[in-house]
């Protein structure tokens, strides 16, 4: 299993846990402050976590698919897509409850609070999971950097600090043979750019990056 696939699975688990936990917390708080609803009815709504995953996959929050996740979205674009995905989830839930005439079993206040809470906490939970993966060195997408000059080195420095994208540079390729075998920014230069495909296959590297 590639680092990208591990990354998507962990983010999906975080999404599931977050939306379900926010719903239960909202229901508990509503009941604590005097709401007249049965908590068990909200516990039974655990499938909404699975529906969120389907909404995320449909809106392509996972940057491709589970089998071959693509490069990460920018933070602003991800927030925009998460907003649409979470909103779609609650529209589907409301539609289902109205269609089955079960809407009276639940509080609209709970669902509104859960919707707002999920919009806020989902990006936060994703940031926490990404930070843990970065610190632990797992769930990272291995990349080859073409060019060990100033542009390539600055790209490596940015990726080494980044917690969002999850791309980790593991090697350089450069046509300057004097650099071959050297280590730059803790990253080895393994050969020429023409050797990139061979090096990537040998090192199970998913991407080649070029700074324009």
Mean pLDDT by 10 residues, the chain (212 residues): 83 96 93 79 91 91 65 84 96 86 79 95 95 90 89 90 88 90 91 89 85 67
Q: What angle do CA 155, 158, 161 make, to 5 degrees?
A: 150
Q: What angle do CA 26, 29, 34 make, to 5 degrees?
A: 125
Break the chain into its structural domains and give their ranges. 3-136, 141-210
CA dist., res. 30 & res. 192, Å (int): 63
- pTM above 0.75? yes
Give the up-direction half-sphere exposure of residue 44: CA atoms within 13 A in the CB hemisphere. Answer: 8
Find how far residue 121's CA is from the centre of its chain. Answer: 13
150-165 as b/e: b if 16+ CB within 10 A: eebbebbeebeeeeeb
pLDDT score of 133: 92
Cα separations in angstroms, 49 against 52, 74, 146: 5, 24, 40
Which class does domain 141-210 fall in?
Answer: alpha beta
pLDDT score of 71: 62
User: Which ranges of the chain would DSSP assign to H, the alpha helix?
Assistant: 3-32, 39-43, 47-58, 75-99, 108-136, 150-161, 196-203
pLDDT score of 66: 58
pLDDT score of 212: 64
Lookup: tokens for 190: 């393994």
In the chain, the largest separation of any two C-alpha atoms, in whole Å, equals 75
**109 in Cβ contact with 173 (< 8 Å):** no
β-pairing, 187-188 vs 183-184, is: antiparallel
Q: What angle do CA 127, 133, 135 make, to 5 degrees?
A: 100
Which residues fall within 8 angstroms of residue 164, CB to CB, at 6 or more apart? 72, 75, 127, 130
């Amino acid at each position: 299993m590639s680092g990208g696939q591990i990354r998507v699975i962990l983010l999906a688990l975080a999404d599931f846990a977050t939306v379900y936990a926010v719903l239960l917390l909202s229901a508990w708080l509503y009941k604590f402050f005097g709401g007249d609803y049965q908590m068990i009815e909200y516990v039974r709504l655990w499938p909404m976590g699975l529906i969120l995953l389907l909404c995320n996959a449909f809106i392509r929050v996972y940057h491709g698919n589970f089998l071959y996740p693509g490069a990460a979205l920018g933070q602003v674009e991800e927030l925009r897509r998460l907003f649409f995905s979470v909103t779609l989830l609650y529209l589907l839930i409301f539609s289902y409850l109205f269609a089955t005439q079960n809407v009276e079993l639940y509080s609209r206040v709970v669902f509104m609070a859960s919707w707002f809470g999920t919009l806020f906490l989902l990006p936060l939970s994703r940031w926490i999971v990404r930070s843990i993966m970065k610190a632990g060195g797992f769930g990272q997408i291995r990349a080859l950097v073409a060019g060990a000059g100033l542009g390539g080195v600055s790209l490596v420095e940015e990726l080494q600090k980044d917690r969002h994208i999850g791309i980790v540079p593991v090697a350089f390729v450069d046509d300057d043979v004097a650099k071959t075998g050297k280590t730059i920014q803790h990253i080895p230069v393994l050969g020429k750019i023409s050797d990139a495909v061979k090096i990537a296959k040998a090192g199970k590297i998913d991407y080649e990056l070029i700074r324009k």
